[in-house]
Amino acid sequence: MSSLLESVIIKKFHDLDKLELYKIMQLRIEVFVVEQDCPYQDLDGLDEVGTHLWLEQNNEVVSYLRINPPKTRFDEVSFGRIVTKQSARKKGLSEAIILKSLEIVEKEGLGSVRISAQSYLEKYYAKFGFVKCSDEYLEDNIPHVEMLKQ
């Protein structure tokens, strides 16, 4: 896991080059829009203020997460757009990115983290210390719950 953690690329929006941004958007659309058959507005205005973390394999973005600052999506810092390419799942990539993101939040003293998790992933996020803190709701026609890590 430590080599994966060291391989995580971390950049603010203004530091992303065009190709990096293109590859990130390509993965997000591939999974969220095409694979999950969920047309939604991915360009939500938070990319510009977020911190972007990803892992690449063979020059392709295969796992990604965006840290949203406090008072943007939620009052707390939040993680969003957590995604891994279907062919790269179950290899610890998302875990590495989530752990790296939690390290950043702790190092910067940003406090609690809130996520809007697809309901079927509640147990997955619980292993990182996230606790369900809302009733189930639909977001883009997919069941979600809010989860908080103190």
Residue 18 lies in a domain: yes
Residue 45 lies in a domain: yes
Residue 31 lies in a domain: yes
> How many alpha carbons lie under 13 Å from residue 127 in its C-beta half-sphere?
8
Residue 105 lies in a domain: yes
Integer Cα distance of 72 and 68 in angstroms? 7
Residue 116 lies in a domain: no
pTM: 0.93
Residue 81 lies in a domain: yes
Where residue 53 sits, what CATH number does that domain have? Answer: 3.40.630.30
Average pLDDT, the chain: 95
pLDDT (0 to 100) of residue 1 = 67
Task: Provide the domain limits for residue 30.
Answer: 2-111
pLDDT (0 to 100) of residue 131 = 98
pLDDT (0 to 100) of residue 3 = 86
Count of the separate structural domains present in the chain: 1
Residue 43 lies in a domain: yes
Which of 63, 69, 68 is CA-nearest to residue 82? 63
Helix, strand, coil % (nearest 5) of the chain? 35, 30, 30
pLDDT (0 to 100) of residue 5 = 84
Pairing of β 131-132 and β 142-149: antiparallel
Identity at 62, one-letter amino acid code = V
With a cut of 70, list the residues of the chain below it in pLDDT.
1
pLDDT (0 to 100) of residue 97 = 97
pLDDT (0 to 100) of residue 33 = 92
Residue 103 lies in a domain: yes
pLDDT (0 to 100) of residue 40 = 87
